[in-house]
Chains A and B, each alone.
Chain A
Amino acid sequence: MKKGRIIYHVDMNSFYASVEMAYNPKLKGKPVAIAGNPEERRGIVVTSSYEARAKGVKTTMPLWQAFQHCPELIVLKPNFDRYREASRHMFSILSEVTPIVQPVSIDEGYMDVTDYVGSQNPIKLAEELQKRVLNELDLPSSIGIAPNKFLAKMASDMKKPLGITVLRKREIKEKLWKLSIGEMYGVGQKTADKLKKLDIETIGDLALKDVMTLKNLLGINGERLHQRANGIDDRPVDPDAVNDFKSIGNSTTLPYDMTDQQEINRIFDQLSEKVADRMERKEVVSENIQIMIRYHDRKTITRSRQLREFVETKQEISQLAKQLFQQHWNEDPVRLLGVTAQQLTAKDEMFKQLDLFNYEKEAEKEELYLTVDQLKEKYGDNTFVKLKSQRQAKMSTSFQKDFLNEYKNNQNNSK
């Protein structure tokens, strides 16, 4: 691992609202909120412009409450196609700077520019990047520059909108440690509450706490957070990290309400094929298959089956989906069907029981595995973390997952 990396964290400012403003410049300077489809999101604010935020509108706030804070609020339904399009452009601009781009969600990503900054000043490069995104897409962004992902992420949060913040490791005492613990990336409400019981109020308090206490309180995560608070984070910017999902699902609204089981089975075949394809690309297997049935009256049910073995092929998935459907269908006309593979395990994270009669094939590589192991240990990359780690995207909708998947596909196709 190289010393002195230069990592950017690029964070789009109130992305959905900004995209809407780019489409309709009349909205600029006005309080705008994007609220999901009322039926589906029960009228909750998904994101809002800075003008709306200034009035007290917050993400996840119910609309009625948002109107109390800001009666002139302009509420828009989300146009996912627009956001997807904008995001794709944004990431393609980032990819022109360095191929090492790791999208974290639709509107943020990490870049490792260490080997691509050349003789240029990294701050200058970031400014140019920010300007390009603003000029070409009319979208504001904030960029954090730091020697690792964690600090870059914290830095991009420090100045919004259109900020560029450099956070050097030697500056963490004055810039990072004073922040309250709840603002630390990776510390949610529950973790913050636990830490506060130990009188840890700021990131600095955490950095100075002894590791054992934290490990006892939070397990491995305690140790990790302690390192982060001290500005240590050895995770590489991994363009393939798009793979880290907990489930893979596809659904489709039917062209007309269906009751014919043969037709429905064909739909399940198609959906299962898509799911199996995506699983294959991500090299994962599943232990739980779920189906979704939405009836003509919008009544929606999901049913799943816990499996004792891993499944991965179209045939396996489709068969389970059809069985589930048969068990739970009430024979009403069906409007939408979905198939989701849950409880995913990366193929390379499964254990492999060695076989007495041919273990030697594996044993030959023992040295290699040992080295990999030592490296992992040295850089704190716990094999188990991958699946557990939840992306910290504020909105982890299936839409975002699909987007990331597409990003990945595009990357693959362009290779």
Chain B
Amino acid sequence: MKILIEREPLMASIQNVMKAISSKPTIPILSGIKLEANQQEVTLTGSNSDITIESIIPSEEDGVVNIHEIVPGSVVIQAKFLPEIIRKLPENQVELSVDDDMNVLIKSGHAEFKLNGQDTEEYPQLPVLQTDNSFHLQIDLLKMLIRQTNFAVSVSETRPILTGVHLKLENEQLELVATDSHRLASRKINMTDTDGLTFNNVVIPGKSLSELNKILDDTQEPIQISVTDNQILFRTKHLYFLSRLLDGNYPETSRLIPNQSKTVVNVNSKDLIESIDRASLLAKDNRNNIVKLVTQGQNILQITSHSPEIGYVEETLETNAIEGEELKISFNAKYMIDALKAIGTDQVSINFTGAMRPFIMQPDEDDEPILQLITPVRTY
């Protein structure tokens, strides 16, 4: 095997597949990156027990030549040193060749690295995904869906199923839900060309989604999503991203969302974020990061926080309107800020049903079916 390749696309591909390489792999060979060259392209693969990433470098694309010479072949190279080696090579072109004993030679300018490679026969065969359950999304939309929900997954393994984002496609509507049992993020979008495809209880590990989000560029190109019983594949022109799904039944969350409210507050998101952020300055030290919110009359919110050993902060915020019953409620400031940022609209409407009950936040304009729910804290 031998390739003469541009350093930049090689570097980008290495960085993509590195996201799947674990420092403690289940089998030793997975600490390496697999390189495969055929006449048209070079494919890099990285894999761990949860995700597998393949990144494809075409020899030529849109008139730009990435690979100048290809002698087909394959090798597995230790991933630990490869990114740094390629990054620091002196020239823009890299020659990478492998002899029959799997010795890898990397040359660029006057620099030469000799690395010990491994035969790809030992590299596990990646499962071939066979499914007709596929649909398309725009990449930038998928990235937004991930940003708006993935932050709410649980980081604790006490209920493993909650460490993932729940995906459901029904009646041409795709819904993503994440909850750590203290807050919940939900986002729906209408689909047009799903060909009557439906699925439920597809739970993608939160970690997989955050890696995917890092790899994908914010473009309007399509990404194909294919779902099987235990795996999900995201596929763009030059990328395969395969993740395992979480086992188990995702809890029914729709019943958790209150459908009535006793107090409705309509407020500017940015103002609210800033004042919650200020109030939580004192609370941050305190693991709970609790702020208290009190309605005052028709349009004033009072936001306070008290840390026993530090001090007290109080601030009032003018809202657009407050309707319904008076309310005092305490909650984790971080949850509120996360949720407001995920909603991302100018105005937000907050529906409360009582101090001990979850409250929901939604954009004021109803064109974005996003919902953020937060469970309050009980202060004794």
Contact = CB atoms under 8 A, between A and B. Distances in A.
A356 B380 contact: no
B356 interface: yes
Nearest to A358: B181
Nearest to B184: A356
A388 B375 CA distance: 28
B205 interface: no
Contacts of B182: 353-356
Nearest to A350: B380
A353 B355 contact: no
Contact residues on A (Cβ < 8 Å of other chain), bracket: 20 to 34
Contacts of A354: 182, 356, 358, 375-378
Contacts of A219: 311-312
Contacts of A350: 380
A365 to B, nearest CB: 7
Contacts of A349: 380
Contact of B379 (A220, A351, A366): A351
Contacts of B288: 351, 353
B179 A356 contact: yes
Interface string A332-349: 000000000000000011
B354 interface: yes
Contact of B378 (A220, A308, A356, A369): A369
A256 interface: no
A352 interface: yes
A240 interface: no
A128 interface: no
Nearest to B306: A384
A353 B182 CA distance: 7
B333 to A, nearest CB: 12
A9 to B, nearest CB: 27
Nearest to B328: A373
Interface in B340-380: 354-358, 373, 375-380
A359 B357 contact: yes
A387 B377 contact: no
A189 interface: no
Contacts of B379: 351, 383
A357 B256 contact: yes
B276 to A, nearest CB: 16
Nearest to A349: B380
A212 interface: no
A356 B256 contact: yes
8 shortest interchain CB distances as A-B pairs: A363-B356, A366-B356, A354-B375, A352-B378, A351-B377, A351-B288, A348-B380, A353-B377
Contacts of B256: 356-357
Contacts of B179: 356
Interface in A191-224: 219-220
Given A357-B256, A365-B356, A387-B308, A351 B290 contact: yes
Contact of A383 (B312, B373, B375, B380): B380
A370 interface: yes
B248 interface: no
Nearest to A366: B356
Contacts of B251: 357
A362 interface: yes
Interface string B14-34: 000000000000000000000
Given A351-B378, A354-B376, A362-B378, A369 B181 contact: no
Contacts of A370: 355
B332 interface: yes
Contact of B380 (A352, A357, A387): A352
Nearest to B183: A356
Contacts of A308: 287
Nearest to A387: B308
A373 B288 CA distance: 20
Interface of A: 219-220, 308-309, 348-357, 359, 362-363, 365-366, 369-370, 373, 383-384, 387-388
A355 B181 contact: yes
Which of B288, B311, B332, B378 has the largest number of chain A CB atoms within 10 A?
B378
B261 to A, nearest CB: 14
Given A356-B358, A356-B375, A370-B355, 6 more contacts: A348-B380, A353-B288, A359-B356, A363-B356, A366-B355, A388-B308
Contact of B377 (A352, A366, A388): A352
A370 B287 CA distance: 25
A212 B311 CA distance: 17
B228 to A, nearest CB: 29
B269 interface: no
A70 to B, nearest CB: 41
A354 B358 CA distance: 9
Contacts of B380: 348-352, 383
Nearest to A353: B377
B253 to A, nearest CB: 8
A219 B308 CA distance: 13
A383 B357 CA distance: 21
Interface in B215-269: 251, 256
B330 interface: yes
A394 B330 CA distance: 37
Nearest to B253: A356
Contact of A220 (B181, B183, B312, B357): B312
A350 B286 CA distance: 11
Contact of A353 (B311, B328, B332): B332
Nearest to A343: B309
Given A362-B378, A366-B356, A369-B378, A357 B181 contact: yes
A356 B255 CA distance: 11
Contact of A356 (B181, B306, B355): B181
Which of A350, A356, A370 has the largest number of chain B CB atoms within 10 A?
A356
A353 B375 contact: yes
B31 to A, nearest CB: 32
B291 to A, nearest CB: 11
A366 to B, nearest CB: 4
B356 A369 contact: yes
7 contacts: A351-B380, A354-B377, A355-B375, A356-B182, A357-B251, A366-B355, A373-B328
Contacts of B184: 356
Contacts of A384: 306, 308
Contacts of B330: 351
Nearest to B289: A351
A308 B287 CA distance: 8
Nearest to B357: A363
Contacts of A355: 181-182, 375
A22 B135 CA distance: 93
A162 B253 CA distance: 70
Interface in B282-337: 287-288, 290, 306, 308-309, 311-312, 328, 330, 332
